[in-house]
Amino acid sequence: MIPRLILTVLSAVVAQAQTPGFNQTVLPLLKNNCAACHNNRSNSGGLSIEDFYSEQSMVSNRDAWERILKRLRNGTMPPGKDKPAGIAEVISFVEGALETREKKPSGSR
């Protein structure tokens, strides 16, 4: 018989792997809706979205993420009135990620 503790740990690991994270929620939208204008060649507005293809960039490049979030919220990016599907999820994911890191005093995790 498999001890209950091991089962509990295993199912927690599986559940975590299934929770949509940055790579599922945010990355596809950036690639599909921002990269055409904001890439390493034509970095419109001085921004290459390729710098923001990792969750880690929310820590290392937080200021720029704040600006991205602002543009997503106020609807100026991506330009045009048809907003991509899933943009609300992206906004709340980014809000959540930036907020969590804000509340924790630096140095502790």
Residue 55 is classified by DSSP as: T
Q: How far is the CB of 86 from ligand HEC (least distance, A)?
A: 11
11 vs 56, which CB is nearer to ligand HEC?
56
Please give the Cα distance from 109 to 104 (Å, whole number): 7
Would you state the structure tokens that stand for residue 85, as one six-digit string?
A: 């599907």
The footprint of ligand HEC (CB under 6 A) covers 33-34, 36-38, 44-47, 64, 67-68, 71-72, 77-79
Please give the Cα distance from 89 to 95 (Å, whole number): 10
3 vs 46, which CB is nearer to ligand HEC?
46
20 vs 45, which CB is nearer to ligand HEC?
45
